[in-house]
């Protein structure tokens, strides 16, 4: 078996690097100019990154604000609600649990509708429901309570039996 002889390079290596090193030694201002250019590039990258991050977060904040305003417009008055905000949130959570996932629990929906005393109670539940995304969905925006009911309780007779007839008996004009 032949053995390789270890060789070492002698000389300057890369001649272009040697020329640059000599020029920098002769004129140190070149190095300062290069450092300033690198600093300026780094600063520009930081500014650009900050702008991009600001746009992303700004868009998310605007979208959340817009969604809240949309839900408030849909909900209407809550001035004469008989239930507290916590009770309305619990009712909204119960409705979401009844509709999210496979199948729809119409009995739970009926139980919540029976808790509603007046239209302001219903408006408060709609407001607390907000816009929610299905646990099955990874894309798209959330849906309001009205959209959830329309999409999840597809049968008009089920909507009438479990939701609208109960609301109508209480003198509530807002129906699903």
Q: Which residues of 34-71 are buried (b: 16+ CB within 10 A; e: fewer)?
A: eeeeeeeeeeeeeeeeeeeeeeeeeeeeeeeeeeeeeb
pLDDT tier, 108 (very low <50, low <70, confident <90, very high otherwise): very high
C-alpha 116/C-alpha 165 separation (Å) is 12
Enter the tokens of residue 52: 């991009």
pLDDT of residue 11: 57
**Per residue in 138-169, pLDDT tens?**
666 788 999 999 999 989 999 999 999 999 99
Decide if pLDDT at 51 tops 70. yes
Mean pLDDT, residues 43-53: 83
pLDDT tier, 32 (very low <50, low <70, confident <90, very high otherwise): confident
pLDDT of residue 12: 53
pLDDT of residue 64: 67
Do the Cβ atoms of 104 and 153 come closer than 8 Å? yes
pLDDT of residue 9: 60
Q: In sequence order, which ranges of 27-134 are alpha helices (DSSP H)?
A: 29-75, 85-99, 106-115, 119-129
pLDDT of residue 67: 65
Number of neighbouring beta carbons within 10 Å of residue 148: 22
Mean pLDDT, residues 34-41: 80
Average pLDDT, the chain: 83
Mean pLDDT, residues 45-67: 77
* CATH number corresponding to 78-169: 1.10.220.10
Q: Where are the domains of the chain?
A: 15-61, 78-169
> What is the value of pTM for the model shown?
0.61
């Amino acid at each position: 078996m032949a053995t390789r002889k270890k060789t070492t390079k002698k000389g300057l290596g890369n001649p272009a690097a040697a020329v640059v090193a000599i020029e920098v030694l002769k004129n140190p201002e070149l190095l300062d100019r290069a450092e300033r250019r690198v600093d300026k590039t780094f600063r520009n990258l930081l500014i650009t990154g900050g702008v991009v991050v600001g746009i992303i977060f700004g868009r998310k904040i605007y979208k959340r604000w817009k969604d809240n305003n949309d839900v408030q417009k849909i909900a209407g008055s809550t001035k004469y609600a008989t239930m507290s905000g916590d009770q309305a949130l619990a009712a909204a959570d119960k409705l979401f649990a009844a509709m999210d996932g496979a199948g729809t629990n119409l009995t739970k929906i009926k139980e919540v509708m029976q808790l509603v005393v007046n239209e302001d109670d219903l408006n408060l539940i709609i407001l607390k429901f907000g816009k929610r995304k299905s646990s099955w969905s990874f894309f798209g925006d959330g849906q309001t309570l009205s959209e959830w009911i329309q999409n999840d309780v597809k049968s008009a007779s089920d909507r009438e039996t479990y939701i609208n007839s109960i609301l109508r008996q209480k003198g509530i004009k807002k129906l699903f």
